[in-house]
Amino acid sequence: MTEITRCSTVELREQLAERKVSAVELMEATLDRIQATHEQLGAVVALREREVLLADARAADDRRAGGDSRALLGIPLGVKDLEDAEGLVTSFGSVPFRDNVAKRDSVQVARLREAGAIVIGKTNTPEWGYTAITKNLLHGAAHNPWNLDRTPGGSSGGSAAAVAGGVLALTTASDGGGSIRIPASFSGCFGLKPSFGRVPNEGSLWVMGDTSVRGPLCRSVADAALHLDSVAGPHPLDPNSLPHPGLSYGECLEDLPPGLRVGWAPDLGYAVVQSDVADVCLEAARVFEKGGHDFAEHLEALPALGRDWGMMNAFESLGELGPRIDAQPEDFGRAFLRGVKAGRQMTPELWGEMRAQRQRLNRWCAETFERFDLLLTPTVPYDPPPARGPFPEETEGRPQPLAGVAAFTIPFNLSWHPAASVRAGLSRAGLPVGLQIVGPRHRDDLVLQAARAFERERPWHPEWPEF
Protein backbone atom coordinates (compact mmCIF):
# COMPACT_ATOMS: atom_id res chain seq x y z
CA MET A 1 0.00 0.00 0.00
CA THR A 2 1.31 3.48 -0.79
CA GLU A 3 1.76 6.08 1.94
CA ILE A 4 -1.26 8.05 0.82
CA THR A 5 -3.60 5.10 1.28
CA ARG A 6 -2.35 4.66 4.85
CA CYS A 7 -3.51 8.14 5.86
CA SER A 8 -6.43 8.94 8.11
CA THR A 9 -9.21 11.16 6.82
CA VAL A 10 -7.87 14.10 8.84
CA GLU A 11 -4.38 13.55 7.43
CA LEU A 12 -5.80 13.42 3.90
CA ARG A 13 -7.70 16.65 4.50
CA GLU A 14 -4.48 18.35 5.62
CA GLN A 15 -2.43 17.02 2.70
CA LEU A 16 -5.06 18.12 0.20
CA ALA A 17 -5.38 21.56 1.79
CA GLU A 18 -1.60 22.06 1.76
CA ARG A 19 -1.39 20.87 -1.88
CA LYS A 20 0.95 18.04 -0.90
CA VAL A 21 -1.29 15.72 -2.88
CA SER A 22 -4.07 16.38 -5.35
CA ALA A 23 -7.53 14.86 -5.32
CA VAL A 24 -6.69 13.21 -8.65
CA GLU A 25 -3.55 11.59 -7.21
CA LEU A 26 -5.53 10.41 -4.19
CA MET A 27 -8.28 8.98 -6.37
CA GLU A 28 -5.80 7.17 -8.63
CA ALA A 29 -4.06 5.63 -5.61
CA THR A 30 -7.40 4.60 -4.12
CA LEU A 31 -8.66 2.96 -7.31
CA ASP A 32 -5.34 1.16 -7.80
CA ARG A 33 -5.52 -0.10 -4.23
CA ILE A 34 -9.09 -1.35 -4.68
CA GLN A 35 -8.04 -3.27 -7.78
CA ALA A 36 -4.94 -4.71 -6.09
CA THR A 37 -6.80 -5.94 -3.01
CA HIS A 38 -10.24 -6.93 -4.30
CA GLU A 39 -9.54 -10.65 -4.63
CA GLN A 40 -8.05 -10.77 -1.12
CA LEU A 41 -10.41 -8.48 0.79
CA GLY A 42 -13.79 -8.48 -0.97
CA ALA A 43 -14.33 -5.07 0.61
CA VAL A 44 -15.66 -2.92 -2.24
CA VAL A 45 -18.47 -4.58 -4.20
CA ALA A 46 -19.67 -1.84 -6.56
CA LEU A 47 -17.58 0.90 -8.12
CA ARG A 48 -18.34 3.93 -10.25
CA GLU A 49 -16.43 4.19 -13.54
CA ARG A 50 -12.80 5.21 -13.22
CA GLU A 51 -13.01 8.11 -15.68
CA VAL A 52 -16.09 9.51 -13.94
CA LEU A 53 -14.34 9.37 -10.57
CA LEU A 54 -11.21 11.00 -11.93
CA ALA A 55 -13.36 13.75 -13.45
CA ASP A 56 -14.95 14.30 -10.02
CA ALA A 57 -11.48 14.46 -8.48
CA ARG A 58 -10.31 17.02 -11.07
CA ALA A 59 -13.38 19.10 -10.31
CA ALA A 60 -12.53 18.95 -6.60
CA ASP A 61 -9.00 20.18 -7.35
CA ASP A 62 -10.43 23.04 -9.41
CA ARG A 63 -12.82 24.02 -6.63
CA ARG A 64 -10.00 23.99 -4.09
CA ALA A 65 -7.95 26.23 -6.37
CA GLY A 66 -10.93 28.57 -6.43
CA GLY A 67 -11.04 28.81 -2.63
CA ASP A 68 -13.36 25.94 -1.66
CA SER A 69 -12.22 24.69 1.75
CA ARG A 70 -14.90 22.16 2.67
CA ALA A 71 -13.74 19.59 5.21
CA LEU A 72 -13.96 16.49 3.00
CA LEU A 73 -13.32 18.02 -0.41
CA GLY A 74 -11.85 15.41 -2.78
CA ILE A 75 -11.76 12.53 -0.27
CA PRO A 76 -13.06 9.16 -1.60
CA LEU A 77 -16.06 7.73 0.27
CA GLY A 78 -17.21 4.11 0.44
CA VAL A 79 -20.90 3.61 1.27
CA LYS A 80 -22.08 0.52 3.08
CA ASP A 81 -24.40 -1.51 0.85
CA LEU A 82 -27.35 -1.08 3.20
CA GLU A 83 -27.45 2.65 2.49
CA ASP A 84 -28.49 4.57 -0.61
CA ALA A 85 -26.10 6.49 -2.85
CA GLU A 86 -27.77 7.94 -5.91
CA GLY A 87 -27.09 5.99 -9.09
CA LEU A 88 -25.56 2.99 -7.33
CA VAL A 89 -27.26 -0.30 -6.54
CA THR A 90 -28.30 -0.80 -2.93
CA SER A 91 -28.39 -4.59 -2.92
CA PHE A 92 -28.46 -5.21 0.84
CA GLY A 93 -26.15 -8.12 -0.04
CA SER A 94 -29.25 -9.91 -1.30
CA VAL A 95 -29.80 -11.49 -4.72
CA PRO A 96 -33.39 -10.24 -5.21
CA PHE A 97 -32.15 -6.64 -4.88
CA ARG A 98 -29.17 -6.82 -7.23
CA ASP A 99 -30.81 -4.31 -9.61
CA ASN A 100 -32.13 -1.93 -6.93
CA VAL A 101 -30.60 1.34 -8.16
CA ALA A 102 -30.92 4.16 -5.62
CA LYS A 103 -32.74 7.24 -6.86
CA ARG A 104 -31.27 9.53 -4.19
CA ASP A 105 -28.72 9.65 -1.43
CA SER A 106 -29.40 8.77 2.18
CA VAL A 107 -29.22 11.79 4.48
CA GLN A 108 -25.80 10.70 5.74
CA VAL A 109 -24.39 10.26 2.23
CA ALA A 110 -25.91 13.54 1.05
CA ARG A 111 -24.31 15.41 3.94
CA LEU A 112 -20.92 13.81 3.35
CA ARG A 113 -21.19 14.80 -0.32
CA GLU A 114 -22.09 18.34 0.75
CA ALA A 115 -18.87 18.36 2.77
CA GLY A 116 -16.98 17.51 -0.43
CA ALA A 117 -16.56 13.73 -0.31
CA ILE A 118 -16.61 11.76 -3.57
CA VAL A 119 -18.71 8.59 -3.47
CA ILE A 120 -16.68 5.88 -5.19
CA GLY A 121 -18.83 2.79 -4.60
CA LYS A 122 -20.38 0.39 -2.11
CA THR A 123 -18.82 -1.76 0.62
CA ASN A 124 -19.74 -5.36 1.36
CA THR A 125 -22.27 -6.41 3.99
CA PRO A 126 -23.97 -9.65 5.02
CA GLU A 127 -27.46 -10.14 3.64
CA TRP A 128 -29.63 -7.36 5.07
CA GLY A 129 -26.93 -6.74 7.70
CA TYR A 130 -28.22 -9.73 9.59
CA THR A 131 -25.04 -11.17 11.10
CA ALA A 132 -21.55 -10.25 12.30
CA ILE A 133 -19.83 -12.27 9.55
CA THR A 134 -19.77 -10.45 6.21
CA LYS A 135 -20.65 -12.89 3.44
CA ASN A 136 -23.56 -13.20 1.04
CA LEU A 137 -24.68 -15.05 -2.10
CA LEU A 138 -24.31 -11.95 -4.26
CA HIS A 139 -20.78 -10.73 -3.48
CA GLY A 140 -19.13 -13.47 -1.45
CA ALA A 141 -17.15 -12.98 1.73
CA ALA A 142 -15.11 -10.07 3.04
CA HIS A 143 -11.77 -10.92 4.64
CA ASN A 144 -9.86 -9.48 7.57
CA PRO A 145 -6.59 -7.74 6.59
CA TRP A 146 -4.95 -8.98 9.80
CA ASN A 147 -5.60 -12.59 8.78
CA LEU A 148 -7.32 -13.26 5.48
CA ASP A 149 -8.78 -16.51 6.79
CA ARG A 150 -10.82 -14.54 9.34
CA THR A 151 -13.86 -12.30 9.05
CA PRO A 152 -13.52 -8.53 9.45
CA GLY A 153 -16.83 -8.68 11.31
CA GLY A 154 -20.22 -7.39 10.32
CA SER A 155 -22.41 -6.10 9.32
CA SER A 156 -20.13 -3.19 8.31
CA GLY A 157 -17.45 -5.71 7.38
CA GLY A 158 -16.65 -4.32 3.93
CA SER A 159 -16.12 -0.86 5.39
CA ALA A 160 -13.88 -2.27 8.14
CA ALA A 161 -11.81 -4.32 5.69
CA ALA A 162 -11.39 -1.26 3.46
CA VAL A 163 -10.28 0.94 6.36
CA ALA A 164 -7.90 -1.58 7.94
CA GLY A 165 -6.64 -2.77 4.55
CA GLY A 166 -5.47 0.64 3.40
CA VAL A 167 -8.17 0.99 0.77
CA LEU A 168 -10.41 3.79 2.10
CA ALA A 169 -10.09 6.21 4.98
CA LEU A 170 -13.71 7.40 4.82
CA THR A 171 -16.63 4.96 4.87
CA THR A 172 -20.18 4.83 6.13
CA ALA A 173 -21.38 2.18 8.54
CA SER A 174 -24.46 1.34 10.59
CA ASP A 175 -25.07 -0.44 13.86
CA GLY A 176 -28.28 -2.22 14.87
CA GLY A 177 -26.71 -4.60 17.40
CA GLY A 178 -22.96 -4.06 17.11
CA SER A 179 -22.44 -3.67 13.36
CA ILE A 180 -20.02 -0.74 13.70
CA ARG A 181 -18.30 -1.79 16.92
CA ILE A 182 -17.84 -5.51 16.17
CA PRO A 183 -16.00 -4.96 12.85
CA ALA A 184 -14.06 -2.10 14.45
CA SER A 185 -12.89 -4.55 17.12
CA PHE A 186 -12.17 -7.45 14.77
CA SER A 187 -10.34 -5.22 12.26
CA GLY A 188 -8.53 -2.89 14.65
CA CYS A 189 -10.34 0.28 13.53
CA PHE A 190 -12.15 2.99 15.45
CA GLY A 191 -15.92 2.77 15.37
CA LEU A 192 -18.56 4.96 16.96
CA LYS A 193 -22.19 3.99 17.41
CA PRO A 194 -23.72 7.41 18.01
CA SER A 195 -26.69 8.02 20.26
CA PHE A 196 -29.93 6.94 18.65
CA GLY A 197 -31.13 9.85 16.50
CA ARG A 198 -27.79 11.65 16.29
CA VAL A 199 -27.50 10.81 12.57
CA PRO A 200 -30.82 10.77 10.70
CA ASN A 201 -31.93 7.25 9.79
CA GLU A 202 -33.38 7.84 6.35
CA GLY A 203 -32.30 6.67 2.95
CA SER A 204 -32.77 2.92 2.52
CA LEU A 205 -35.65 0.50 2.23
CA TRP A 206 -35.33 -0.80 5.75
CA VAL A 207 -33.59 -0.12 9.04
CA MET A 208 -33.68 -2.13 12.24
CA GLY A 209 -36.54 -0.41 14.01
CA ASP A 210 -35.47 1.75 16.90
CA THR A 211 -32.09 0.11 17.46
CA SER A 212 -30.13 0.96 14.30
CA VAL A 213 -27.96 4.05 13.91
CA ARG A 214 -25.55 5.28 11.25
CA GLY A 215 -22.08 6.52 11.95
CA PRO A 216 -18.34 6.39 11.30
CA LEU A 217 -15.97 3.45 11.03
CA CYS A 218 -12.52 4.89 10.48
CA ARG A 219 -8.80 5.03 11.36
CA SER A 220 -8.69 7.58 14.17
CA VAL A 221 -10.90 9.28 16.72
CA ALA A 222 -10.43 12.63 14.97
CA ASP A 223 -11.74 11.00 11.78
CA ALA A 224 -14.93 10.01 13.59
CA ALA A 225 -15.37 13.51 15.02
CA LEU A 226 -14.95 15.00 11.55
CA HIS A 227 -17.47 12.52 10.12
CA LEU A 228 -20.00 13.23 12.87
CA ASP A 229 -19.57 17.00 12.52
CA SER A 230 -20.49 16.57 8.85
CA VAL A 231 -23.66 14.50 9.33
CA ALA A 232 -25.21 15.22 12.75
CA GLY A 233 -28.42 17.19 13.01
CA PRO A 234 -32.17 16.76 12.53
CA HIS A 235 -34.00 15.85 9.35
CA PRO A 236 -37.76 16.11 8.72
CA LEU A 237 -38.00 12.56 7.35
CA ASP A 238 -36.69 11.06 10.61
CA PRO A 239 -38.93 11.97 13.57
CA ASN A 240 -36.38 10.43 15.94
CA SER A 241 -33.50 12.61 14.73
CA LEU A 242 -31.99 14.75 17.45
CA PRO A 243 -31.41 18.51 17.40
CA HIS A 244 -27.93 19.63 16.48
CA PRO A 245 -25.71 19.27 19.58
CA GLY A 246 -24.60 22.89 19.37
CA LEU A 247 -20.92 22.02 19.37
CA SER A 248 -18.16 20.73 17.11
CA TYR A 249 -17.04 17.25 18.09
CA GLY A 250 -13.67 17.94 16.49
CA GLU A 251 -13.10 21.18 18.36
CA CYS A 252 -13.86 19.71 21.80
CA LEU A 253 -12.04 16.41 21.23
CA GLU A 254 -9.17 17.18 23.60
CA ASP A 255 -11.42 18.42 26.44
CA LEU A 256 -12.00 15.26 28.51
CA PRO A 257 -12.98 16.42 32.01
CA PRO A 258 -10.66 15.34 34.84
CA GLY A 259 -11.64 13.03 37.67
CA LEU A 260 -14.28 10.99 35.86
CA ARG A 261 -15.90 7.96 37.48
CA VAL A 262 -15.05 5.07 35.16
CA GLY A 263 -16.68 1.65 35.55
CA TRP A 264 -15.24 -1.61 34.26
CA ALA A 265 -17.76 -4.37 33.45
CA PRO A 266 -15.80 -7.50 32.51
CA ASP A 267 -18.78 -9.62 31.41
CA LEU A 268 -22.07 -7.74 32.11
CA GLY A 269 -23.04 -10.79 34.13
CA TYR A 270 -23.46 -13.21 31.23
CA ALA A 271 -20.85 -12.78 28.46
CA VAL A 272 -18.31 -15.60 28.01
CA VAL A 273 -14.98 -13.91 27.31
CA GLN A 274 -11.80 -15.46 25.91
CA SER A 275 -9.18 -15.18 28.66
CA ASP A 276 -6.53 -13.28 26.70
CA VAL A 277 -9.17 -10.89 25.34
CA ALA A 278 -10.27 -10.21 28.92
CA ASP A 279 -6.65 -9.58 29.98
CA VAL A 280 -5.95 -7.21 27.08
CA CYS A 281 -9.11 -5.23 27.76
CA LEU A 282 -8.55 -4.90 31.50
CA GLU A 283 -5.00 -3.67 30.95
CA ALA A 284 -6.28 -1.17 28.39
CA ALA A 285 -9.11 -0.01 30.65
CA ARG A 286 -6.61 0.85 33.38
CA VAL A 287 -5.26 3.59 31.12
CA PHE A 288 -8.05 5.73 32.60
CA GLU A 289 -7.01 4.88 36.15
CA LYS A 290 -3.43 5.88 35.31
CA GLY A 291 -4.82 9.09 33.84
CA GLY A 292 -6.20 10.14 37.22
CA HIS A 293 -9.80 8.98 36.89
CA ASP A 294 -11.64 6.95 39.50
CA PHE A 295 -11.76 3.33 38.35
CA ALA A 296 -13.95 0.58 39.79
CA GLU A 297 -15.47 -2.71 38.73
CA HIS A 298 -19.16 -2.75 37.89
CA LEU A 299 -20.52 -6.21 38.54
CA GLU A 300 -24.27 -5.57 38.48
CA ALA A 301 -25.60 -8.14 36.00
CA LEU A 302 -27.65 -7.24 32.96
CA PRO A 303 -30.48 -9.44 31.70
CA ALA A 304 -29.33 -11.50 28.68
CA LEU A 305 -30.88 -9.76 25.71
CA GLY A 306 -29.76 -11.74 22.64
CA ARG A 307 -32.98 -13.71 22.20
CA ASP A 308 -35.23 -10.66 22.52
CA TRP A 309 -33.13 -8.55 20.17
CA GLY A 310 -33.02 -11.32 17.58
CA MET A 311 -36.75 -12.01 17.77
CA MET A 312 -37.64 -8.33 17.52
CA ASN A 313 -35.50 -7.84 14.40
CA ALA A 314 -36.77 -11.05 12.81
CA PHE A 315 -40.36 -9.92 13.33
CA GLU A 316 -39.68 -6.50 11.79
CA SER A 317 -37.80 -8.10 8.89
CA LEU A 318 -40.79 -10.28 8.13
CA GLY A 319 -42.93 -7.17 7.93
CA GLU A 320 -40.65 -5.84 5.19
CA LEU A 321 -39.65 -9.01 3.36
CA GLY A 322 -42.19 -11.70 4.25
CA PRO A 323 -44.06 -11.87 0.92
CA ARG A 324 -40.86 -11.86 -1.11
CA ILE A 325 -39.30 -14.56 1.08
CA ASP A 326 -42.39 -16.75 0.65
CA ALA A 327 -42.37 -16.25 -3.13
CA GLN A 328 -38.59 -16.59 -3.72
CA PRO A 329 -37.00 -18.49 -0.82
CA GLU A 330 -34.27 -19.90 -3.08
CA ASP A 331 -32.86 -16.38 -3.65
CA PHE A 332 -32.02 -15.83 0.02
CA GLY A 333 -29.22 -17.30 2.10
CA ARG A 334 -30.18 -20.20 4.34
CA ALA A 335 -28.93 -18.60 7.56
CA PHE A 336 -30.78 -15.38 6.79
CA LEU A 337 -34.00 -17.29 6.03
CA ARG A 338 -33.70 -19.31 9.22
CA GLY A 339 -33.21 -16.18 11.30
CA VAL A 340 -36.02 -14.17 9.73
CA LYS A 341 -38.55 -17.01 9.82
CA ALA A 342 -38.06 -17.17 13.59
CA GLY A 343 -40.08 -13.96 13.65
CA ARG A 344 -43.20 -16.02 12.99
CA GLN A 345 -42.96 -17.25 16.57
CA MET A 346 -43.79 -13.77 17.85
CA THR A 347 -46.90 -13.46 20.01
CA PRO A 348 -48.43 -10.49 21.86
CA GLU A 349 -47.36 -12.12 25.12
CA LEU A 350 -43.76 -12.49 23.95
CA TRP A 351 -43.73 -8.91 22.69
CA GLY A 352 -44.92 -7.74 26.10
CA GLU A 353 -42.18 -9.73 27.84
CA MET A 354 -39.60 -8.19 25.55
CA ARG A 355 -40.79 -4.66 26.31
CA ALA A 356 -40.62 -5.40 30.02
CA GLN A 357 -37.09 -6.71 29.62
CA ARG A 358 -36.11 -3.53 27.81
CA GLN A 359 -37.49 -1.47 30.68
CA ARG A 360 -35.30 -3.47 33.06
CA LEU A 361 -32.32 -2.66 30.81
CA ASN A 362 -33.19 1.04 30.89
CA ARG A 363 -33.36 0.94 34.67
CA TRP A 364 -29.95 -0.81 34.82
CA CYS A 365 -28.48 1.85 32.55
CA ALA A 366 -29.98 4.69 34.56
CA GLU A 367 -28.52 3.29 37.78
CA THR A 368 -25.18 2.60 36.10
CA PHE A 369 -24.80 6.15 34.82
CA GLU A 370 -25.81 7.58 38.18
CA ARG A 371 -22.77 5.80 39.58
CA PHE A 372 -20.36 6.19 36.64
CA ASP A 373 -19.61 8.78 33.97
CA LEU A 374 -18.26 6.14 31.57
CA LEU A 375 -18.62 2.37 31.33
CA LEU A 376 -15.90 0.17 29.80
CA THR A 377 -16.30 -3.40 28.54
CA PRO A 378 -14.64 -5.66 25.99
CA THR A 379 -16.23 -4.95 22.60
CA VAL A 380 -16.36 -8.60 21.49
CA PRO A 381 -15.69 -11.63 23.70
CA TYR A 382 -13.39 -13.56 21.34
CA ASP A 383 -11.16 -13.54 18.26
CA PRO A 384 -12.67 -13.06 14.78
CA PRO A 385 -14.26 -16.30 13.49
CA PRO A 386 -13.40 -17.77 10.07
CA ALA A 387 -14.35 -15.61 7.09
CA ARG A 388 -17.30 -17.86 6.24
CA GLY A 389 -18.10 -18.80 9.83
CA PRO A 390 -19.29 -20.37 11.95
CA PHE A 391 -19.36 -18.48 15.23
CA PRO A 392 -17.86 -20.45 18.11
CA GLU A 393 -20.36 -22.39 20.18
CA GLU A 394 -18.03 -22.37 23.16
CA THR A 395 -14.97 -20.51 24.38
CA GLU A 396 -12.33 -22.31 26.46
CA GLY A 397 -14.84 -25.02 27.36
CA ARG A 398 -17.68 -22.65 28.29
CA PRO A 399 -20.78 -22.46 26.05
CA GLN A 400 -21.44 -19.15 24.32
CA PRO A 401 -24.87 -17.55 24.93
CA LEU A 402 -27.23 -16.81 22.08
CA ALA A 403 -25.79 -13.94 19.99
CA GLY A 404 -22.62 -14.17 22.07
CA VAL A 405 -20.61 -12.15 19.53
CA ALA A 406 -22.82 -9.16 20.36
CA ALA A 407 -23.14 -9.77 24.10
CA PHE A 408 -21.50 -6.42 24.91
CA THR A 409 -22.97 -4.38 22.06
CA ILE A 410 -26.68 -5.24 21.85
CA PRO A 411 -27.61 -3.67 25.21
CA PHE A 412 -26.56 -0.19 24.13
CA ASN A 413 -28.50 -0.38 20.87
CA LEU A 414 -31.59 -1.17 22.88
CA SER A 415 -30.84 1.59 25.41
CA TRP A 416 -29.78 4.23 22.80
CA HIS A 417 -26.49 5.07 24.52
CA PRO A 418 -23.44 6.18 22.49
CA ALA A 419 -20.64 3.61 22.43
CA ALA A 420 -17.27 3.35 20.70
CA SER A 421 -14.68 0.65 20.13
CA VAL A 422 -10.96 1.49 20.38
CA ARG A 423 -8.12 -0.88 19.59
CA ALA A 424 -6.96 -2.18 22.98
CA GLY A 425 -4.18 -4.45 21.73
CA LEU A 426 -3.73 -7.86 20.17
CA SER A 427 -4.79 -11.32 21.30
CA ARG A 428 -2.45 -14.31 21.54
CA ALA A 429 -3.33 -15.01 17.90
CA GLY A 430 -2.05 -11.57 16.88
CA LEU A 431 -5.56 -10.32 16.10
CA PRO A 432 -7.05 -6.98 17.18
CA VAL A 433 -8.99 -6.70 20.43
CA GLY A 434 -11.46 -3.86 21.01
CA LEU A 435 -12.33 -2.00 24.20
CA GLN A 436 -15.84 -0.55 24.30
CA ILE A 437 -16.41 2.91 25.80
CA VAL A 438 -20.06 3.67 26.65
CA GLY A 439 -21.30 7.09 27.70
CA PRO A 440 -24.53 8.59 29.03
CA ARG A 441 -27.31 8.98 26.52
CA HIS A 442 -26.62 11.83 24.04
CA ARG A 443 -23.06 12.38 25.34
CA ASP A 444 -21.34 11.45 22.09
CA ASP A 445 -18.87 14.23 22.86
CA LEU A 446 -17.78 12.57 26.10
CA VAL A 447 -17.35 9.17 24.43
CA LEU A 448 -15.20 10.72 21.70
CA GLN A 449 -13.16 12.66 24.25
CA ALA A 450 -12.52 9.50 26.27
CA ALA A 451 -11.57 7.59 23.13
CA ARG A 452 -9.19 10.37 22.14
CA ALA A 453 -7.58 10.35 25.60
CA PHE A 454 -7.09 6.59 25.26
CA GLU A 455 -5.70 7.01 21.74
CA ARG A 456 -3.10 9.51 22.98
CA GLU A 457 -1.85 6.99 25.54
CA ARG A 458 -2.20 3.88 23.36
CA PRO A 459 -1.98 5.07 19.72
CA TRP A 460 -2.94 2.49 17.11
CA HIS A 461 -2.77 4.62 13.95
CA PRO A 462 -0.75 4.29 11.70
CA GLU A 463 0.01 0.65 12.67
CA TRP A 464 -1.93 -1.46 10.19
CA PRO A 465 -1.44 -4.93 8.73
CA GLU A 466 0.62 -5.51 5.60
CA PHE A 467 -0.53 -8.16 3.15
DSSP helix, strand, coil percent of the chain (3-state; round to 5): 40, 15, 45
What total number of domains does the chain contain?
Answer: 2
Say if residue 91 is in the same domain as residue 153.
yes
User: What percentage of the chain carries pLDDT values higher than 90?
Assistant: 95
Domain that holds residue 106: 3-307+343-457
92, part of any domain: yes
11-32: average pLDDT: 98
467, part of any domain: no
Say if residue 182 is in the same domain as residue 102.
yes
- In this predicted structure, the answer to whether residue 207 has a pLDDT above a threshold of 70 is no
368, part of any domain: yes
Q: What would the pLDDT profile of 57-66 be if each residue is shown by its tens digit?
A: 999 999 999 9
- How far is residue 293's CA from residue 398's CA, in Å, rounded to a whole number? 34
pLDDT for res 204: 62
Say if residue 96 is in the same domain as residue 79.
yes
Say if residue 298 is in the same domain as residue 319.
no
Question: How big is the chain, counted in residues?
Answer: 467
Say if residue 315 is in the same domain as residue 260.
no
Domain boundary pick from 288, 317, 342: 342
User: What percentage of the chain carries pLDDT values higher than 70?
Assistant: 98
- How far is residue 10's CA from residue 224's CA, in Å, rounded to a whole number? 9
- In this predicted structure, the answer to whether residue 94 has a pLDDT above a threshold of 50 is yes
Residue 402's pLDDT band (cuts 50, 70, 90): confident
Q: What would the pLDDT profile of 235-248 be if each residue is shown by its tens digit?
A: 999 999 999 999 99
- Backbone φ and ψ of 361, nearest 5°: -60, -45
Residue 119's alpha-carbon distances to 111, 172, 273, 391, in angstroms, are 12, 10, 38, 33
- In this predicted structure, the answer to whether residue 465 has a pLDDT above a threshold of 70 is yes
pLDDT for res 334: 92
Say if residue 289 is in the same domain as residue 323.
no
464, part of any domain: no
Nearest in space to 129 (alpha carbons), one of 200, 180, 87, 197:
180
441, part of any domain: yes
Q: What would the pLDDT profile of 277-315 be if each residue is shown by its tens digit?
A: 999 999 999 999 999 999 999 999 998 899 999 999 999
pLDDT for res 203: 63
pLDDT for res 208: 59
384, part of any domain: yes
Q: Is the dihedral of CA 393, 398, 403, 408 positive or negative?
A: negative
- How far is residue 439's CA from residue 216's CA, in Å, rounded to a whole number? 17
The pTM of the full predicted model, rounded to 2 decimals, is: 0.97
Say how many C-beta atoms besides its own lie within 10 A of residue 210's C-beta: 17
Q: Is the dihedral of CA 283, 133, 105, 235 positive or negative?
A: negative
Domain boundary pick from 321, 342, 363: 342
Q: What would the pLDDT profile of 355-382 be if each residue is shown by its tens digit?
A: 999 999 999 999 999 999 999 999 999 9
Say if residue 395 is in the same domain as residue 312.
no
Say if residue 126 is in the same domain as residue 157.
yes
Say if residue 216 is in the same domain as residue 352.
yes
143-160: average pLDDT: 99
Say if residue 312 is in the same domain as residue 246.
no
Q: Which residues are catalytic?
A: 80, 155, 179
CATH number at residue 417: 3.90.1300.10
31, part of any domain: yes
Provide the Cα torsion 25, 31, 37, 42; round to 10°. Answer: 140
pLDDT for res 462: 78
pLDDT for res 433: 99
- In this predicted structure, the answer to whether residue 150 has a pLDDT above a threshold of 70 is yes
252, part of any domain: yes
Average pLDDT, rounded, for the chain: 96
Say if residue 302 is in the same domain as residue 377.
yes
Say if residue 335 is in the same domain as residue 240.
no
DSSP type of residue 67: T
